[in-house]
Structure 1
Amino acid sequence: MKKFRGKKRYFRHLWKKVNDFYLQPDNESWFDFWHFHLDFCGTGEHSLKLRREHIKAHLALYNILLKRLERIEKPSQSWICIHEQDAGLDAVYIHTPNPNGDNFPHKLKSIDWHYKLPNTFKDLIDLEQFNVGYYKYEDGNIYFIQSKEQDMKL
């Protein structure tokens, strides 16, 4: 891999994207598995340090969205997906009742909510505040992070 140049500028831009994120849901808003990738190009795959910084940014964005979702009166689900093999697929999700189909609430029955967190990002996630689950499937394994205060569990 070539040396990652412009790292300070890259992360300054990433955190600006998180802090300036504009989504103001209201009672008319609906989300059908809406999601936002902060590392769409998979930059976090190049080193653990880069991956950890992206996970911190996803957690910060998730906390911002949780506060904004408190304003709406309809039920909602939100979570973070951290993919083991592909950092470009990491995302923050929002899901509500929507006109596209009868798919709310979304339930994944095979998530292991008692899975032990890997040491690589164990210190980033406050287990008092978040539930962390592990989901195995043929295309890759995923960690689901969801607020304990969330009404609708996955």
Structure 2
Amino acid sequence: MKKFRGKKRYFRNLWKEVEIFDLQLDEESWFDFWHIHLDFFGVGKHSLKIRREHIKAHVALYNHLLKQLEAFEKPYQSWICIHEEDPGSDAVYIHTPNPNDDYFPHRVTEINWNCKIPNTYRDLIDLEKFNVGYYKSEFEEMYYIQVKEQGVSL
């Protein structure tokens, strides 16, 4: 792997994006599995330190979006997906009833909500505020992080 140059600038820009992100909610707003990847190119797969910083940023963005969603008057679901093997697929999601499809709420029945959280990022997630679940299929393994007191549960 080539050396990750411009790391300081990269993370400064990442955190700036997290801090200023605006959903621009109004009475017409809806989300059809809207999501945002903060590590789109998967740079976190080469270093645990970089992966942890991205997970921290996803949690911070999620908290930022939850504050904006407090004023949203429609039912919604929101969560973070942290993929075991593919950091580029990690994302924050929002889903609402929408004109594209009548699939709401989203349900994933195979999530194990009594899972053990990996030590590598256990300290980044406030278990008083969030539920953490584990999902495994033949294609992927991931952790779902969802706020306890807000929105519709998965």
In the superposition, the TM-score normalised over structure 1's length comes to 0.97
What displacement does 1:139 show?
Answer: 1.5
CA distance in 2, matches of 1:11, 1:144: 24
Alignment of 1:3 with 2:3, yes or no, is yes
Structural RMSD (CA): 0.8
| 1:86 corresponding residue in structure 2 | 86
The one-letter code matched in structure 2 to 1:19 is E
| 1:135 corresponding residue in structure 2 | 135
Once the two structures are superposed, residues 53-111 of structure 1 have per-residue CA deviations (whole angstroms, 9 ceiling, x without a partner) of 00000001001111111111111000000000100000000000101111100000000
Where do 5+ consecutive residues of structure 1 fail to align? none
State, as a whole percentage, how many aligned pairs show the same letter.
71
What displacement does 1:150 show?
Answer: 2.3
| 1:51 corresponding residue in structure 2 | 51
| 1:76 corresponding residue in structure 2 | 76
Alignment of 1:27 with 2:27, yes or no, is yes
SS of the aligned residue for 2:133 comes to: strand
| 2:41 corresponding residue in structure 1 | 41
The one-letter code matched in structure 2 to 1:113 is W
In the superposition, the TM-score normalised over structure 2's length comes to 0.97
SS of the aligned residue for 1:78 comes to: strand
SS of the aligned residue for 2:12 comes to: helix
The one-letter code matched in structure 1 to 2:28 is E
